[in-house]
Amino acid sequence: MPPTSRLRRFVDYLLSFGSYEGESPDQKGRRRIIVGALWVSILPIALAAVLSSGTWLVVAGAIQTSAHFAALILLRLMPHRFAVIINLVFAVDIASDVGDSILLGGLFDSGLAVVWSLIGVLGSLVALSIRAAVVWFGVFVAAVGVTLAAPSIVDPIYELSDPQTDGAIAIVGMTLLVFAVMAYFVRQRNLFQQQSDTLLNNVLPSEIAERLKRDSGMIAEQLNSVSVLFADVVDFTPMSSAMSPTQLVGLLDRVFSDIDGFVEELGLEKIKTVGDEYMVAAGVPTPRSDHAEVVAELALRIRDHFAAGSVNGHRIEFRIGINSGPVVAGIIGRRKFAYDLWGDVVNTASRMESQGVAGEIQITGSTFGLISDRFLCKPRGTIDVKGKGEQETWLLRGRL
């Protein structure tokens, strides 16, 4: 195993302290930040204690170091006590910083040592909650007040050689920590926004998703030139009756994922799936002059793709119907909203599928008039379309 891999595994092991089954990715990220900070802080605190010139300063540093190490051990043993353990560490750190400040002569003569107590505020904001951070901020303000008043109550025991430099280091260090925490939350916000946008774009057309983010009002529009396709798996009910739930969902996932790929390649808009039926449209939400042609191309790809082989050991055959014309498009629902199409064109397209022929693509006269110069179509004759009466239809056979 390469050294870098061993090092990565070792670091992952150290950061795994406090992990537990069922931990969410967000909780895991926050916990790893705090656990990493505890590991990293042990050496600097220990060195500062060893290099201190006063016995009580050494004792305070030793207490902090021991508290951090003990917290890591406890997190390993009792991961579900994360909040309690971290709060105890913050309490020890603030008490130690206040003690150091008093021993060194107060807020300024100690080189702003108490400023390091802000770590507890930032840590609780990252790993615990806003309420916990507010509480610790109140404790921090009280700690600053104590160290500010200390010189008038208690005489200093020790003296720093250069409190201004130590104060500058404290300010720069805490500024870096604040920046790091802000960067973390901005990154998390951007990540969650990206995930939200991706989810929204998977549910709605991208143009509609953008409109919905800008305006939560009703979205409805009339689109005059649209082609709608319905595709249904032939004899799916008897086929599915012999399948387990896993096999059934796995089969539909394979079938619809293949169609999704064709839809994406052709720039069409998937509207929905209902059971084993797939609905797609072209010319929505953005109009396009070739809407009938690209839907016809999709239908041929679906037919030919599944005719060429089996899916999970099953022969899949589709019955497909297409119609073209004006539709109404919009979003319905408030919680589980959906982008859908309505109108006579949609109903007739559905009838073209349901009253179609297995393995064939049945189209209406309106669609035929738009694609007849580029696609081979065979007249089927006049059929009685439910709810519409007698209509002349064609079977789409191929490309010219």
Using an 8 Å Cβ cutoff, are 92 and 86 in contact?
A: no
Measured from the Cβ of residue 51, the count of other Cβ atoms closer than 10 Å reads 10
Among the residue ranges 325-329, 367-371, 381-385, the one predicted with the least confidence is 381-385
What's the confidence (pLDDT) of residue 2?
A: 65
Q: Is residue 82 packed enough to be buried (19+ CB in 10 Å), middle (13-18) or exposed (0-12)?
A: buried
Between 1.10.8.50, 3.40.50.2300, 3.40.50.300, 3.30.70.1230, what CATH number should domain 207-399 receive? 3.30.70.1230
- Condensed to tens digits (0 to 9), the pLDDT of residues 21-44 reads 888 887 888 888 888 888 877 777
What's the confidence (pLDDT) of residue 367?
A: 96
Average pLDDT, the chain: 86
What's the confidence (pLDDT) of residue 1?
A: 56
Q: Which residue would you say has higher pLDDT here, 386 or 378? A: 378
Residue 244 has pLDDT above 80, yes or no: yes
- Whole-model pTM: value is 0.63
Structural domain boundaries of the chain?
3-200, 207-399
Among the residue ranges 212-216, 236-240, 297-301, 387-391, the one predicted with the least confidence is 212-216
The residues pairing with 392 across neighbouring beta strands, listed in sequence order, are: 382
For the chain, where are the E strands, in sequence order? Answer: 220-233, 269-274, 277-282, 310-311, 314-315, 318-332, 338-342, 361-364, 375-385, 389-399
Residue 346 has pLDDT above 90, yes or no: yes
Q: Which residue would you say has higher pLDDT here, 395 or 121? A: 395
- Where do we find the tokens 């679906």? 302
Mapped to the 3 state alphabet, what secondary structure does 205-229 carry?
A: CHHHHHHHHHCCCCCEEEEEEEEEE
Percent of the chain surpassing pLDDT 70: 98
Residue 204 has pLDDT above 80, yes or no: no
- Calpha distance 385→394 (Å, rounded): 13
Residue 105 has pLDDT above 80, yes or no: yes
The pLDDT-based confidence of 157 (bands split at 50, 70, 90) is confident
The pLDDT-based confidence of 365 (bands split at 50, 70, 90) is very high
Q: Which residue would you say has higher pLDDT here, 282 or 72? A: 282
